[in-house]
Amino acid sequence: MAKIENSKIKKCNLCQQEKKLITKSHIIPEFFYREAGVYNEKHYMYKIETQRYLRTGEVSYVPTGEYESEILCEDCDNNRIGELETYGSKVLYGGLSPEKNIKFTNYRNPFDGFEYTIFENVDYKQFKLFLLSLLWRAAISKRKTFKEAQISIKNEEKLRKMIFTRDAGEINNFPIVILSYLRDNAAPTDLIAQPIKSSTIDKDLITMMLAGFVFVFNITNNYKEISEIKDVTITPEGKFTVLHIPKGKTLNFILKYANLK
Ligand SMILES: [Zn+2]
């Protein structure tokens, strides 16, 4: 018995203290699976390997959620990350109490017909750190599913510090662009896909598709071209834009955005 207990005393990836680590931590928060409607009491979930899905349209099933064992202590999982998840799910899928006062306004660009939603009064620190916690968890995961979310050790440590010390950094520290395919009823809303890594001449991106949203993380070191995305990424003023992918275009659009097509 004591042996088993001792084997669980390890260094927590987030607080870095030697502690008893929990056996089930989610890499992708459970609420994404619920929102995608791919969660049931047997814990069967769809797993879509992006490349294979695009090639063949095939989807596979996995018998458990994407749990990872012994990566976090209970305090970090339930409280530090849990608090961010609670906030993030409410921003994305609603449910914040009225006094939190998040404002969202829908627009349509008259020139190209693109629809977008501007969110305001969002807690920059909580929301950005929630999003970065998705990237960080995928990055530290040893599971094959997350192989394209691997980042440099330096960036991994930067993210860990930001999450642990509750410091969301400046606008150009890991800026994130959010697209949505919730309005594309031709798109598979139950899509929870493996992260995709891609690079252009001037930037390195990791794209994660989760239950109607596409999160594009810019992991370029010292990213300078902030003017390109300052109107869409989440700003310290608590504002960000979600671009709605046009009907019937979801997968092509995402791949183009990630520079894979
Ligand atoms: Zn911890």
Distance between Cα 182 and ligand 1 center (Å):
35
User: Residue 5 pLDDT more than 50?
Assistant: yes
What pLDDT does 43 receive?
46
What pLDDT does 124 receive?
97
Distance between Cα 26 and ligand 1 center (Å):
14
Distance between Cα 153 and ligand 1 center (Å):
19
Cα distances (Å, whole numbers) of residue 252 to 48, 106, 148, 187, 248: 16, 23, 19, 11, 9
Distance between Cα 242 and ligand 1 center (Å):
32
**pTM (predicted TM-score):** 0.88
Average pLDDT, the chain: 84
What pLDDT does 156 receive?
97
Distance between Cα 19 and ligand 1 center (Å):
7
For the stretch 209-227, what's the b/e string if a residue is b when 16 or more beta carbons lie within 10 angstroms of its beta carbon? bbbbbbbbbbbbeebeeee
What pLDDT does 190 receive?
66
Interval 189-246: pLDDT, tens: 666 777 888 888 788 999 998 888 899 999 987 777 778 788 899 999 999 999 998 8
What pLDDT does 196 receive?
85
CA–CA dist 178, 135 (Å, integer): 13
Structure tokens at 113: 């017909």
**Percent of the chain at pLDDT exceeding 90:** 45
What pLDDT does 15 receive?
98
Interval 39-83: pLDDT, tens: 554 445 556 666 776 677 676 666 555 678 899 999 999 999 999
CA–CA dist 23, 225 (Å, integer): 41
Region 87-110: mean pLDDT is 84
What pLDDT does 2 receive?
43
Distance between Cα 17 and ligand 1 center (Å):
6
